[in-house]
Amino acid sequence: MNNNQDASNKKKPITNDQLSKEIKTIIAKITKLPIEKILDDSNLFADLGIESLAGVEIFAAIDKKYNLNIPEEKVKDVTSVADLVDLIQIMLKQ
């Protein structure tokens, strides 16, 4: 049943603003950083101190929320929160 709900999530259009808010909440939860410090142009590595293993964990939480399967190799390609939002938008539309 959960899977069906998640699958319907996948089809719902979501605005970039809303997605950005949700992604920042996930990042804040995993990194324990205050959400206000996580900005659209925050560099995940340089500004937020996220290592690739923690990045994979953020991907895992995003996978669960949006019923996606983001390839973990993408961790090295994503630099900012905005990049991550773009990547998820593309994957949600696929």
**Footprint of another protein (CB under 8 A):** 29-33, 43, 45-46, 48-57, 59-60, 63-64, 72-73, 75-76, 79
To another protein, the closest distance from the beta carbon of 80 in angstroms equals: 10
What's the min distance (Å) between Cβ of 67 and another protein? 12
Task: Say if CB 23 and CB 70 are below 8 A apart.
Answer: no
How far is the C-alpha of 87 from the C-alpha of 73, rounded, in Å?
Answer: 13
CB 29, min distance to another protein, A: 6
Q: 66 vs 2, 26, 50, 60, CA distance in Å?
A: 12, 12, 21, 10
- 1 versus 15: smaller Cβ distance to another protein: 1
